[in-house]
Amino acid sequence: MNLMSSQPTGDSRSVASDDYGNGAIGETIFSLAAEIFPICRSITGDGVRQTLNILRRHIDLDVHEVPSGTQVFDWTIPLEWNIRDAYIKAPSGERVVDFKTSSLHVLNYSQPVHVQMPLSQLKEHIYTLPQQPHAVPYRTAYGGDRWGFCMAHNQFAQLEDGIYEAVIDSSLTKGNLTYGEVFHRGATDHEVLLSTHICHPSLANDNCSGLALLTALVKCITRRKTRYSYRFLFGPGTLGAISWLARNSSSVRNIKHGLVLSCVGDGGGPTYKKSRIGDAFIDRAFIHVLKHASSNPNIIDFFPYGYDERQFCSPGFNLPVGLFQRSQFGTFPQYHCSDDNLDFIKPEHLATSFQMITSVLDVIEGDRYYARTNPFCEPQLGRRGLYSSVGGTKDVADRNMAMLWVLNLSDGEHSLLDIAERAGVPFSVIADLASELVVNDLLTERDIVTSA
């Protein structure tokens, strides 16, 4: 398949260039993450719709509804869950757990309940983290056949015996699963898929950071002319991706590169989990970028657990979709508990994550094949003003060597990414040098058809 267009159709700016100004992108992403942080989201319900409506103020987002009972491959869309209030009231009348303080206090997807019972019985419906006694855990009951509360273990240990009132004002009714989608048409039908999940309640890194960063990416990319078309998905984890794939199974062949992103607001990693293919272009591009962006990137082989990459990489589709995170899910103590709050994510980390992703998109957009106009021996660079010996600094020597790599490997069979990998030089440097050599009539672009 022709992944390398012979004529660049986008402008010469990088994907990251935009109207945010210097350093503003991190603050912009953080501000949106903070706005959506308090909302109680789940795999269905008004919390998802409320979040998508906030995102729609920033981007042109299409919202799709999949009715309860719909069969999507081996899954069935469940009843829609909504919650209005929940609390545990102590014998003194004090609310010792209050949903309105934090949506994490309720077992997500709890069935409605209004009971009075002794503490000994109520304890069977309370979840804590004894190993992190100050934190409130995030727990779910997606079957809708249970109810419960989550609270800090320290507070739990201080509860006095007596009769407690437990109220969960929720509903499980026929409704819909909701997801958002943006499609940006490029010069070709070949697509880049970018996806994040929208189903977690008040978790800053493992939900809000990905939603806010992907929104920023939409704003950047949809303002540009691009070679690839771009599809952005904001859907509930697992069922959202499965629903989209069930509805679009005939057109997924257009997806040539893909990425799931989550946990992009902390200072760990960076972490990249390869696609099931293992050496897809997206895998190579991400590994290349992270090796130059970090001294110790965490590169992980594919395994069939995690986020929605496992749906896109299921054997029937086997799409080239990887997963990008800062700290790997499940490995940091703030994961899936109240410590994953707005103090855990930082604008500077969000900005760095944004820059890493846009650098990969620059590789996807900018990769080309070139051939020497005169492939015999080295061209005389000095008389063209291309070879500098002034100062003899390392930067000058490195630039000269990178140019020699471009000239030597531009044989019509090596792409710019091939050259960057072989030379150990950032793709952006190789791409800039290639453009300079084209201007000086030393290279010409080749139209290469590849099955990659």
> How does 349-381 read in b/e, with b if 16+ C-beta sit within 10 Å?
bbbbbbbbbbbbbbbbbbbbbbebeeeeeebeb
> Do residues 111 and 87 make contact, with C-beta atoms less than 8 angstroms apart?
no
> Do residues 201 and 256 make contact, with C-beta atoms less than 8 angstroms apart?
no
Q: To the nearest 10°, the Cα dihedral for 435, 438, 443, 448?
A: 60
340 is in an annotated binding site: no
336 is in an annotated binding site: yes
> Do residues 437 and 402 make contact, with C-beta atoms less than 8 angstroms apart?
no
Phi, psi (degrees; rounded to nearest 5) at 191:
-115, 150
DSSP 8-24: --S-SS-TT--SS-TTH
Rounded distance between C-alpha atoms, residue 296 and residue 222, angstroms: 32
Other Cβ atoms less than 10 A from the Cβ of 124: the count is: 8
Rounded distance between C-alpha atoms, residue 312 and residue 319, angstroms: 6
161 is in an annotated binding site: no
> Do residues 203 and 49 make contact, with C-beta atoms less than 8 angstroms apart?
no
Q: What does the DSSP 8-state code read for residue 445?
A: E
**Binding site residue list for Zn(2+):** 200, 206, 336
**Binding site residue list:** 200, 206, 336
